[in-house]
Amino acid sequence: MALHKFASFSSLHYSAFTTTHYHRVFSINCCTTSSTSSSSSSSSPSSSSPFTEKHSIERFQRDQWLYTNTATNNKPIVSSNLGSIREDDIALQLPELKKLLQVLREKRESEGKCSSEGKCVLGNVFLVGTGPGDPELLTLKAVRVIKGADLLLYDRLVSNDVLDLVAPHARLLYVGKTAGYHSRTQEEIHELLLSFAEAGATVVRLKGGDPLVFGRGGEEMDFLQQQGIQVKVIPGITAASGIAAELGIPLTHRGIANSVRFLTGHSRKGGTDPLFVAENAADPDSTLVVYMGLSTLPSLAQKLMCHGLSPETPAAAIERGTTPQQRTVSITISSFSRSQYIKLIN
């Protein structure tokens, strides 16, 4: 196998680094990713996002059932105050959410699934991983559950192509998060899942990648199980696996990388330093994959070199991996200084 294949890959708003004797660092980002390898880059034919961006017209068209009694006309709410936008949006959605709850309860009552006291047989919640973006990477079980849902709560990194699989009768509710703006807090998402499950609905929580890999699926599962709600997890292809396969880069390889490590590149409060970089993360016999590390990548690369990783280590950054908009940058880890990196990806 050609040595350059061990160099780089990244995916949708994730950052991934791989460390091996040849290509050791991958950066995966949903919107932009960075990698080190052979000083090359490739651009996608289109720069439009394959995902649901905040306040996009597509999102309001998809969720238009929530705004039937408002004057939004399926257009995004525009304001410089993100906190105000969030609060106004939730207020607009509340009447239709309450109405849907009532409709679902009445449906269960007509099916004899509710007691005279109004308590319905509890519904199920499915945590479904949708992979890195390509709908053909979904599992058969994921497709079946998506098509049979009453309500689907979806994240920003669930691709538009995946959302096209939702049945016409189902309702979609966007609960995506971006840096500096959360359409719903995690606690609000918990309560939504619980409320509709208590009404007997089949609720699907759609997440990019795998629900239990940097997806907060464990938190949602714990909360619902404590409330007596049955939760089923349907795994998805995590970005590291999907993008590595797309680019032909093995995460482990005999004689080169005998282990692989997934690391979050998230920073504290939106800063430029990653939360934590252990000294052994620079292990030359391991592949290091960094998720969500776009803003912290220069600092992360520097820390890895300080811990002993060679500056000539090949690395790769991939944006929107496995989608038609995929972009790849392949350089060495020492080139991930802020000025060089930004010049490469723009």
- Average pLDDT for residues 298-318, to the nearest whole number? 85
Residue 136: the pLDDT is: 93
Summarize pLDDT for 5-34 with one digit per residue, the tens: 233 333 333 334 443 344 556 666 654 333
Task: Using alpha carbons, list the distances in angstroms from residue 200 to 108, 118, 228, 277.
Answer: 7, 11, 13, 44
Question: Catalytic residue among 155, 207, 210, 221, which?
Answer: 155
Please name which of 256, 266, 257 lies closest in space to residue 300, comparing C-alpha atoms. 266
Which tokens hold the place of 206? 């759609």
Q: What is the mean pLDDT of residues 180-199?
A: 88
At residue 86, the pLDDT reads: 61
pLDDT for 19: 39
Please state, in angstroms and rounded to a whole number, the distance separating the CA atoms of residues 320 and 9. 10
User: What is the separation of C-alpha 154 from the centre of its chain, rounded to a whole number of angstroms?
Assistant: 10
Kindly report, residue by residue over 38-85, the tens digit of the pLDDT.
Answer: 334 444 444 466 666 555 666 666 777 676 665 444 444 444 444 556
Is position 292 annotated as part of the catalytic site? yes
Token pair for residue 335?
Answer: 């080139």
- Nearest Cα neighbor of 223 from 260, 256, 195 is 195
Q: Which domains, and CATH codes, for the chain?
A: 91-106+121-237 (3.40.1010.10), 240-344 (3.30.950.10)
Q: Active site residue: 54, 63, 292, 303, which one?
A: 292
Q: What pLDDT sits at residue 251?
A: 92
Active site residue 285: no
Average pLDDT over residues 98-112: 83
**Residues 325, 326, 329: CA angle, nearest 5 degrees:** 135
Q: Higher pLDDT residue, 240 or 41?
A: 240
Among 52-61, 212-221, 290-299, the range of highest mean pLDDT:
212-221
Does residue 236 have a pLDDT over 90? yes
Which range among 109-118, 125-134, 157-166, 210-219 shows the weakest confidence by mean pLDDT?
109-118
Predicted pLDDT at 70: 53
Q: Is residue 35's pLDDT more than 80?
A: no
Mean pLDDT of the chain, nearest integer: 76
Handedness of CA 331, 334, 335, 338 (dihedral sign): positive
Could you confirm whether 177 is annotated as catalytic?
yes
Question: Given 5, 88, 177, 273, which residue is catalytic?
Answer: 177
